[in-house]
Amino acid sequence: MEISNLSGQPLAGREKGFKAQESVGGKQEAQKMLESTTRESEQQSAARQSAAREQLMRMAAEMNEMTGPLHTRISFGFSEDASAMYLNVIDGDSGKVIRQFPSEEALEFAAKMREFVGMLLDKRI
């Protein structure tokens, strides 16, 4: 015996059609949720990176203040391109940079490697 609704169509057939629509709608909704979650995660990651950079810049400024009384000054900085801290040893009399750690060449290399790795790994799928 087959159960039917008021329109006379069997319920079993209607249930299958409903499940198919539900499945497609569920996939679309899941995709939208995944995209929304990914966007939120990227925004949170960018905010954390920005906060970390600001903290490094503040730390560099504090270290510069602490080394002020020395005859040879030490200047701390942060390279945005290489995302790395560096320090300069500066002659207190002339103001010339005696030494930089890491060197300018090393910072440039790190920035180029970061850019290269970004081109390989930052592609969206």
Q: Residue 22 belongs to what H/E stretch?
A: helix 11-66
Structural domain containing residue 16: 12-117
User: What are the respective helix, strand and coil percentages of the chain, to the nearest 5?
Assistant: 60, 20, 20
- Evaluate whether residue 7 is within a structural domain: no
- Evaluate whether residue 28 is within a structural domain: yes
pLDDT tens by residue, 60-69: 788 777 766 7
pLDDT tens by residue, 70-120: 677 788 888 888 888 888 888 888 889 989 999 899 999 988 888 888 777
Q: Residue 25 belongs to what H/E stretch?
A: helix 11-66
Give this prediction's pTM: 0.41
- Number of folded domains in the chain? 1
* Size of the chain, expressed as the number of residues it contains: 125
Among left, alpha and beta (phi > 0; psi -120 to 50; other), residue 8 is left
